[in-house]
Amino acid sequence: MRRFTQLIQQLETSNKTNDKIAALVSYFSTADELDKPYVVAMFTGKKPRRPVTTALIREWAIELSGIPTWLFAECYHSVGDLSETIALVLPPPSRTTDRKLHEWIGDLAQITSKTDAEKKDFILDAWDSLNTQERFIFNKLISGNFRIGVSNKMLVNAISKQSDTESNKIMHSIMGKWKPGEITYKELIAGAHVNTDNSWPYPFCLAYALEAEPASLGGTDEWQAEWKWDGIRGQIVKRNGELFIWSRGEELVTDQFPELHFLKDELPDGTVIDGEILSVKDGQVQAFSVLQQRLNRKTINKSQLKDAPIGFYIYDLLEFQGSDIRTAPLSERRKLLLEIAGQLSNSDIAVLSPVIEFTDWEELAEIRKGSRENNSEGIMLKKLSSFYHSGRKRGDWWKWKINPYTVDTVMIYAQKGSGRRANHFTDYTFAVRDGEQLITVAKAYSGLTDKEIKEVDAFVKKNAIEKFGPVRTVKPELVFEIAFEGIAESKRHKAGLALRFPRIARWRKDKKAAEINTLDDLRQLLASTLS
Amino acid sequence: MALITFTNKGIFCKQGGFYIDPWRPVELAVTTHGHADHVKWGNKGYLCHELTKPVLLQRLGADIPIQTLPYNQEISINGVKVSMFPAGHVIGSAQIRLEYKGEICVISGDYKVEYDGISTEFEPVKCHTFVSESTFGLPIYKWQPQHEVFGQIKNWIEDNHEQQKTSVLVAYSLGKAQRLIKNLADYTDIYVHNSIANLNDGFIRAGVDLPETIRITPDIKKETLQKGIVIVPPALADGKWMKSLQQAATGVCSGWMQVRAGRRWRSADAGFALSDHADWPGLLSAIKATEAEKVFVTHGFVSTFSKYLNEIGIASEEVVTRYGTEDDEEETILKEAQN
C-alpha cells in the first residue's frame, strides 16, 4: 500500500500531465503485479461493493477520535472530503504494516458479509496500523470514490507508454468487462479478455468546440452537418445475439431503456452504432429536462415510459458485419449506416440523425439559429473523409454550439469550496428579483479565475451578514452573469424552475444589484422552451 | 471593571490607557509581534519585546518611537503592571501579561507550543482572562514533531538535487524563514530573498544566534542556486523571478499544507505542514495551563473553537478582530520586495 500511497501523493502534487504520466509509468513498472489490475480498476471507476456504510465509518471515526459529532461536521466542511477528514481526526496509529494494496482490497471484500461488530474490529484495527496518508487511501478503498485527477485517457496513455502497446488497444481492453482479481496486468494489456466478450464498446469519437468562423474550415463539400442533439451520447453493441447499450460515461445502461430492446432482434450480429439517447415524442425531440426523468433510475414505471419515451438518433456505424470500420471515411460509413437503418422496423424510435443540406456557410449559420426550436444545441460538423477517432482529435469533428442562455443575478450566499477550494469562499448562490424579494435561481462554483476568487472571498469575509454553519449570507451587491444550457420546471426549487449547467460567465462589475433580471424574465423563457 | 475591552481600534486596556495590537492609530500600541496583521503604522508609541524592535524598525521606519522590554520583566503603565512572556511564534513574539488590582489578563497574540529552535520557547502564564488565537483550531490539525517534518524537507531537497532541480521553499519572511534557516543551515547553503535577508541582518545585529545565509543578487548564477536551497516569501512564489530559475521545485511550508485541498490550492510541487501556530492539542494544552476563567478567541476557527471550549467547561467568547488576515502580511512583503 505504501507504493500506491506514494503514487497518489505524486499525482496530487503536480498539475502537469507529463508529471502525472511519468508517475503512473513509474508505478506500473515497479508496483506489485497483483496490485496493478486493482489500480487500473480504481482509476477507471470500477467499484467493488461497498463493504461498510458511510454512516458506520463516520460513527466509528467520531467515537475513536473522541470529538463531538458537530465538531466532526465542522472538520468535514473545512477539509471537503470525508475519507481525508477521518484520516486526520483519528488518534495516531500504534504500529505499521507492509500489507499490499490487493490484500487490503481482498480483506474489504471479505468483510462485506460479516456482522457490523466484526466489520468494526477490522476497520479499527486497520486504522491503528496506517499513517495519515495510508488511512486516507484505505478510507477511499472503502468508499470506492477515487477522484484523483487521472482521466481514462491519461491512464491509457501511461499504460500504453509503459507497455509499449498501442493506446487504442489499451482503451478497448480497460473499457471492457473484467475483474481485477481474475486478470493479470499482462493479460489486461494484451486484451486477453476482450475478444471473448460480446459487450465491449469502442471509445467515443469526440469533437472540439468550434471557436473560429466555419468558413475557416474550407469548402462546404468536404463537410457533413448534423444537429447537435442534447441528450446522452450512447453506443449500441449487437454481437452474438446480445445487445448492450453503453453511455459515454462508460456505463452499461441497457436496462434503463427498454424501448430500444427491439434492436436486439433487428440489428445484425457484429453491429455497433453510435448515437444519442433522447426523449422523442410524436417524432419530436424533447428538451433535456424531459429525458432527465429517465436517467439513473433503477426501476421505470408506466407513467415515466409514457411521459418521457426514449428514442435513439443514430450518428455513425463503427462495426459492420463484425469488422471494425472506424478507419473507413465517414462518407462510406454513412452509406453502410443507411443500409443498416433501412432494415429497422420502428424507424420512429431508432432514427437516422438527419444530415442538414446546405450550400454555403452563411446558409448553415442561418439554419443554426433555429437550433433551439428542435431542442438541439447547435450543429455538428464532420469531415466526410474523417475516421472515427478514439477520443478527441482536433480538425475532423467540430461542435458549433449556439450561445448559452444568460441571466444577470446577484450573489446572496457563499460557501467554502471543497477539494482544491476548501478554505476559500468559492461556491456561490445567485438570485434574481421577484418584486421586492430576491429569489434563488442557481448555485455555481466555476468560471472565475483564482485571482477573482480571492477578490470575492475577501468581499464575503467583509460583508457576511449571517452564518448558517459553513454558509454566509452576504450583502446582495456583486452582480454575476450566469450562463446556462436549459431551463426546466422544478417543484423542489422555490423559484419553481431550475437552470441546467449554470456557471459564472462573467463578473459584471459594471452592473448594480438593481439592474439584475427578474423571475418573470426566466418564466417567460421557460414557457417559450415548452411550447 | 474588565481589564480589557474589544473596541473598533483593537484590544483596549482602559485602566492603563493603551491598546494591544491595535489596527487603527492610537497613543500607545503594546505589540505582541511584528506580523502585519498585529502591528500597524501610525501609532504615537510602541512597546514591544526587544527582539521585535528590529522588525518594527525595518517595517515601519527607523524614526518611530519604540520602547522595549525583555521577557519576564515588569513595568507599570498608569498603575497597570505590564510584562511579556515568550509566545514561541516567531523571534521576539510575546504574550502580554497585564495585572491590575490582582486581576490578571494575558493576550497571547499568535503562539505555538512546540520549540522551533530559534524563537524563545512558549511559556504558559496563569491568568484570569486569556486571549487566544485559533488559526488551526480544528482537530484535523495535529502537527508532526518538527524533526520529522524537517526529515521530509531534507528528503525532498535530496530528490531535487538528484533531478537537477532547484529547491525553493516558500515561507514567511518573518518567522518561518528563520526557523528553516536555523534547522537547515548545517545541511545546505541557503539563499534568501531580500525581504528575508534584511530581517536577518536586523536580528543578527540584535544578537540573535542566526546562521549565515546568502542574499540573492542578480549576479548569483542560477546553477549556484541549484546546489543549495532558496527561500522566498509567498508573495513572490508565483513571480517572474521564479520562472527564470532552472527547473524550480517549490515546497510550501505552512500549517495549511496538512490538508490536501490546501496543498492543491497553492499548486506547489510539495507541501510541508510546518506551522508557527499551535495545533489543536497545542491550543487546548496552552489554554488549560493558563487556568483562565474566561477565554476570548480572536482569529481562526473562532466560533467552532469557542463553542468547543464552552462544551468542555471553559467559559469562552468569540471576538471580532482584524487579526489572521494573511493578505496583510503578503502585502507588506511585496512592498518590502520592491524596496
- Taking contacts as CB-CB distances below 8 angstroms, the residues of chain B near A419 are 260-261, 264
Is residue A353 classed exposed, middle or buried when 0-12, 13-18 and 19+ CB atoms within 10 A define those classes? buried
Mean predicted confidence (pLDDT) in A307-324: 95
Task: Convert the pLDDT of each residue in A128-147 to its tens digit.
Answer: 999 999 999 999 999 877 77
In this complex, which of A68, A70, A79 lies closest to B261 when CB atoms are compared?
Answer: A79
pLDDT for the residue A528: 75
pLDDT for the residue A449: 82
Q: Which domain holds residue B166?
A: 146-272
Mutate to test the interface with A, among B144, B170, B259 (most CBs of A within 10 A): B259
| B96 and B44 share one domain | yes
Give a yes or no: residue A10 inside a domain: yes
pLDDT for the residue A64: 96
Mutate to test the interface with A, among B135, B256, B260 (most CBs of A within 10 A): B260
Mean predicted confidence (pLDDT) in A191-209: 79
In this complex, which of A71, A81, A423 lies closest to B139 when CB atoms are compared?
Answer: A71
Give a yes or no: residue A71 inside a domain: yes
**DSSP bridge pairs for A229:** A376
Asked if residues B331 and B236 have their Cβ atoms less than 8 Å apart, the reply is no
Of the residues A401, A427, A454, which one is the last residue of a structural domain? A401
Which range among A111-115, A260-264, A467-471 shows the weakest confidence by mean pLDDT? A467-471
Contacts of A187 (CB under 8 A, 6+ apart): A193
B153 versus A9: the higher-pLDDT residue is B153
| A514 and A409 share one domain | yes
Q: Is the pLDDT of residue A193 over 90?
A: no
- Total of domains in chain B: 2
How many whole angstroms separate alpha carbon A117 and alpha carbon A124? 11
- Convert B241-273 to b/e letters by CB count within 10 Å (16 or more is b): ebeebeebbbbbbbbbbbbbbbbbbbebbbbbb
pLDDT for the residue B154: 95
Give a yes or no: residue A189 inside a domain: no
| B183 and B262 share one domain | yes
At B333, the pLDDT band (50, 70, 90 cuts) reads low
| A32 and A122 share one domain | yes
CATH number for position A82: 1.10.3260.10
How many whole angstroms separate alpha carbon A395 and alpha carbon A208? 8
Q: Which domain holds residue A484?
A: 405-530
Of the residues B272, B291, B307, which one is the last residue of a structural domain? B272
| Locus of grid cell 478503498 | A141
Q: Is the pLDDT of residue A208 over 50?
A: yes
Helix axes A132-143, A2-13, angle to 10 degrees: 90
How many whole angstroms separate alpha carbon B302 and alpha carbon B288? 17
Catalytic positions of A are 228
Task: Convert the pLDDT of each residue in B38-54 to its tens digit.
Answer: 999 999 999 999 999 99
Q: Is the pLDDT of residue A196 over 50?
A: no
What does the DSSP 8-state code read for residue A276? Answer: E
Name the strand (E) or helix (H) holding A209. strand A208-209
pLDDT for the residue A156: 86
| B36 and B100 share one domain | yes
Q: Is the pLDDT of residue A326 over 50?
A: yes
Mean predicted confidence (pLDDT) in B249-259: 90
Task: Convert the pLDDT of each residue in B215-248 to its tens digit.
Answer: 998 888 888 898 899 999 887 776 677 777 878 8
| B289 and B267 share one domain | no
pLDDT for the residue B50: 96
The per-residue pLDDT of chain B, averaged, comes to 91
In the A/B pair of chains, how many CB contacts fall below 8 A? 72
pLDDT for the residue A395: 86
- Cα dihedral A288, A291, A296, A300 in deg (nearest 10): 170
Q: Is the pLDDT of residue A470 over 70?
A: no
Give a yes or no: residue A285 inside a domain: yes
pLDDT for the residue A409: 95
In this complex, which of B139, B271, B303 lies closest to A67 when CB atoms are compared?
Answer: B139
Q: What is the CA radius of gyration of chain B?
A: 20
Of the residues B226, B248, B272, which one is the last residue of a structural domain? B272
pLDDT for the residue B321: 86
DSSP assignments along B207-262, one per residue: T------EE--TTS-HHHHHHSEEEE-GGGTTSHHHHHSSSEEEEEESGGGGSHHH
Q: Is the pLDDT of residue A44 over 50?
A: yes
- Total of domains in chain A: 3
How many whole angstroms separate alpha carbon A409 and alpha carbon A482? 7
In this complex, which of B269, B311, B327 lies closest to A68 when CB atoms are compared?
Answer: B311
pLDDT for the residue B337: 54
Nearest Cα to A156, choosing from A196, A129, A191?
A191
Highest mean pLDDT among A113-127, A206-220, A422-436, B225-239 belongs to A113-127
Task: Convert the pLDDT of each residue in B53-78 to its tens digit.
Answer: 999 998 888 888 999 999 999 999 99
Give a yes or no: residue A200 inside a domain: no
| A341 and A457 share one domain | no
**Alpha-helical segments (H) within A236-370:** 263-266, 288-291, 302-307, 330-342, 361-368
Give a yes or no: residue A280 inside a domain: yes
- Taking contacts as CB-CB distances below 8 angstroms, the residues of chain B near A71 are 138-139, 304, 308
| A396 and A286 share one domain | yes
Nearest Cα to A456, choosing from A487, A413, A398, A489?
A413
| B154 and B135 share one domain | no
- CB–CB of B140 and A419 under 8 A? no
Mutate to test the interface with B, among A133, A420, A423 (most CBs of B within 10 A): A420
Cell numbers for A384: 466526410
pLDDT for the residue B267: 63
Give a yes or no: residue A197 inside a domain: no
CATH number for position B31: 3.60.15.10
Name the strand (E) or helix (H) holding A17. helix A17-30
Give a yes or no: residue A283 inside a domain: yes
Output the pTM of the full model: 0.71
Mean predicted confidence (pLDDT) in A155-176: 82
Asked if residues B306 and B318 have their Cβ atoms less than 8 Å apart, the reply is yes
- Convert A195-204 to b/e letters by CB count within 10 Å (16 or more is b): eeebbbbbbb
pLDDT for the residue B296: 97
Highest mean pLDDT among A144-158, A175-189, A208-222, B177-191 belongs to B177-191
pLDDT for the residue B169: 95
| B195 and B130 share one domain | no
Q: Chain B window 140-159: which residues touch A at a Cβ cutoff of 8 Å?
A: 140-142
pLDDT for the residue A298: 64
pLDDT for the residue B263: 76
Q: Is the pLDDT of residue B338 over 90?
A: no
| A93 and A136 share one domain | yes
β B45-49/B66-69 pair status: parallel
In this complex, which of A68, A74, A84 lies closest to B138 when CB atoms are compared?
Answer: A74
End-to-end CA distance of chain A: 57
The per-residue pLDDT of chain A, averaged, comes to 88
pLDDT for the residue A205: 93
Distance from CA of A126 to the nearest CA of B (A): 19
Q: Is the pLDDT of residue B339 over 50?
A: no
| B22 and B132 share one domain | yes
Mean predicted confidence (pLDDT) in B306-322: 94
Q: Is B301 on the interface with A (CB under 8 A)?
A: yes
Minimum Cα–Cα distance from A12: chain B residue: B264
How many whole angstroms separate alpha carbon B8 and alpha carbon B35? 19
CATH number for position B192: 3.40.50
| A467 and A384 share one domain | no
Distance from CA of A76 to the nearest CA of B (A): 9
| A385 and A412 share one domain | no
Cell numbers for B276: 508557527
How many whole angstroms separate alpha carbon B250 and alpha carbon A219? 50
| B31 and B105 share one domain | yes
Mean predicted confidence (pLDDT) in A311-320: 96
| Locus of grid cell 468562423 | A213
Mean predicted confidence (pLDDT) in A56-62: 96
Contacts of A490 (CB under 8 A, 6+ apart): A496, A497, A498
Q: Chain B window 250-289: which residues touch A at a Cβ cutoff of 8 Å?
A: 256, 258-265, 267-271
Contacts of A74 (CB under 8 A, 6+ apart): B138, B301, B304
Of the residues A109, A143, A177, which one is the last residue of a structural domain? A143
Mean predicted confidence (pLDDT) in A59-87: 94
Mean predicted confidence (pLDDT) in A344-358: 90
| A17 and A34 share one domain | yes
Of the residues B272, B288, B304, which one is the last residue of a structural domain? B272
| B52 and B122 share one domain | yes
- CB–CB of A12 and B260 under 8 A? yes
| B318 and B264 share one domain | no
Q: Is A84 on the interface with B (CB under 8 A)?
A: yes
Task: Convert the pLDDT of each residue in A410-449 to its tens digit.
Answer: 999 998 765 556 667 888 999 999 988 999 999 887 678 8
| B136 and B29 share one domain | yes
Which range among A149-153, A348-352, B225-229 shows the weakest confidence by mean pLDDT? A149-153
pLDDT > 90: percent of chain A: 54
| A473 and A525 share one domain | yes
How many whole angstroms separate alpha carbon B312 and alpha carbon A200? 59
- Taking contacts as CB-CB distances below 8 angstroms, the residues of chain B near A472 are none
- Taking contacts as CB-CB distances below 8 angstroms, the residues of chain A near B256 are 423
| A515 and A421 share one domain | yes
| B69 and B159 share one domain | no
Task: Convert the pLDDT of each residue in A477-517 to its tens digit.
Answer: 999 999 998 888 888 788 999 998 899 988 988 888 888 99
E-strand stretches of A309-436:
310-320, 323-324, 350-352, 355-356, 376-383, 391-392, 397-401, 405-416, 425-434
pLDDT for the residue A194: 64
How many whole angstroms separate alpha carbon A294 and alpha carbon A309? 9
| A427 and A386 share one domain | no
pLDDT > 90: percent of chain B: 73
How many whole angstroms separate alpha carbon A130 and alpha carbon A87? 9
Mean predicted confidence (pLDDT) in B19-47: 95
At B176, the pLDDT band (50, 70, 90 cuts) reads very high
How many whole angstroms separate alpha carbon A433 and alpha carbon A517? 6
Q: Is A77 on the interface with B (CB under 8 A)?
A: no
How many whole angstroms separate alpha carbon A91 and alpha carbon A127? 9
Q: What is the CA radius of gyration of chain A?
A: 26
CATH number for position A296: 3.30.470.30
| A424 and A339 share one domain | no
At B10, the pLDDT band (50, 70, 90 cuts) reads very high
At B318, the pLDDT band (50, 70, 90 cuts) reads very high
Q: Chain B window 82-141: which residues touch A at a Cβ cutoff of 8 Å?
A: 138-141
